[in-house]
Amino acid sequence: MPRVSVLALIALTTLAACGTPEVAAPVIGPDGRELSKVYPIAESDRDAIQIRFLDGMNTLRQARGVPPVALDPFLTAAAATHSRDMSVQNRPWHFGSDGSSPLDRVQRVGYTGRLLGENISETYETELETLAAWMEDAETRSVILDPLARTMGFAWFQEPNGKIWWTMVTGA
């Protein structure tokens, strides 16, 4: 028993020496607001990010009693094209620099289903923070929870400064 007590004392002393890590204070910009933190995305993160988003979306859909969606490569290609194009235009909106609509983009990539909706965002937030923000708005929430949706495309473009342009497209 004394041996166990000594080992426990050593373990506690070691843990106490570690202390708690200090949390960095937020960096405040000249306007008094917290500056955005960069969420760096590597090409090797692509699959994990898409799966995290898909799982999050399907969890929300399940909670509302609607069927899950599956990732669709055609819709994802249309989303990727639009994310990059929004960066080029430097504005989040649903029309491409060539005047294309979401419907035009999904048709161009060969999607044969029916387009249901598109959500877009310009942010420094993660994919799950973006999903949560979309859920706070009735219009974008309706795209996520559309009971007719069976497929989804999800992609992004990250600029060198860290800004991320997210696009999600749903179809049936």
Do β-strands 151-158 and 164-171 pair in parallel, antiparallel, or remain unpaired? Answer: antiparallel
Q: Are the C-beta atoms of residues 150 and 65 closer than 8 Å to each other?
A: no
Give the model's pLDDT for residue 29. Answer: 58
Considering the domain boundaries, does residue 95 fall inside one? yes
Per-residue model confidence as pLDDT tens for the chain (172 residues): 444 333 333 433 443 444 433 445 555 656 666 656 787 778 888 899 999 999 999 999 999 999 999 999 999 999 999 999 999 988 788 888 899 999 999 999 999 999 999 999 998 899 999 999 999 999 999 999 999 999 999 999 999 999 999 999 999 9
Do β-strands 151-158 and 70-71 pair in parallel, antiparallel, or remain unpaired? Answer: parallel
Cα Rg, the chain, nearest whole Å: 22
Give the model's pLDDT for residue 123. Answer: 87
Q: Which helix (H) or strand (E) holds 70?
A: strand 70-71
Considering the domain boundaries, does residue 116 fall inside one? yes
Considering the domain boundaries, does residue 10 fall inside one? no
Give the model's pLDDT for residue 21. Answer: 37
Considering the domain boundaries, does residue 24 fall inside one? no
Give the model's pLDDT for residue 44. Answer: 84
Give the model's pLDDT for residue 95. Answer: 85
Give the model's pLDDT for residue 93. Answer: 80
CATH number, domain of 75, equals: 3.40.33.10
Give the model's pLDDT for residue 148. Answer: 98
**What is the pTM (predicted TM-score) of this model?**
0.77
Domain extent for 47: 43-171
**Total tally of structural domains belonging to the chain:** 1
Considering the domain boundaries, does residue 162 fall inside one? yes
Considering the domain boundaries, does residue 103 fall inside one? yes
| Euclidean distance between CA atoms 139 and 126, whole angstroms | 20
Task: Using DSSP, state whether 163 is helix, strand or coil.
Answer: coil
Residue with tokens 């294309």: 100
Considering the domain boundaries, does residue 6 fall inside one? no
Considering the domain boundaries, does residue 150 fall inside one? yes
